[in-house]
Amino acid sequence: MNIRYCLAAAVVIIVILIGTGTGRAVETPAAVALEKSMSDTLDIWREGRYEQLFELLAHRGKTSRETFVHKMRDSSIRPACCWQKMERFKVLNEKRTEATVYVKIGLEGTTGGVESTTREFKMTHQERVWKMQLADVFSIAGVTGKKKSGTKLHPKKIYP
């Protein structure tokens, strides 16, 4: 009877250990690729390689490489390092060329030290790579995509 009790306890322990696993959901190859692509993009941004970062972004619109690099150099905000860089990565929607992910991104250079932003990000599959949107990077960095306009002069008004 003692052997049966030990055997039953061993089976229960094995079932519990197998059931707990790593705590992460089963990841598809596309989910792994999305997470790696976003992580690599944030690393390049953190390292200040803005020309290379520009090439890794989608939907650049009319923003030139020079304008992008200038705006990114003016921003003090950048992704945090290591485990603070990305947390709680989750794929919400995935199609062949578009995906929506939800992630917490740690930030440095903000007024309150290390902070973060947790939100959805659209990613686009272009040139065999998943790419973040340029507008999202500008938003996180605290810069806008629009040029600053000076004072507009009214053409018919006489100025002193």
87-142 per-position pLDDT tens digit? 999 999 999 999 999 999 999 988 776 699 999 999 999 999 999 999 999 999 99
- The share of the chain scoring above pLDDT 90, in percent, equals 64
Domains of the chain: residue spans and CATH: 27-141 (3.10.450.100)
* pTM (two decimals): 0.73
124-139 per-position pLDDT tens digit? 999 999 999 999 999 9
43: CB partners within 8 A, 6+ apart? 79, 85
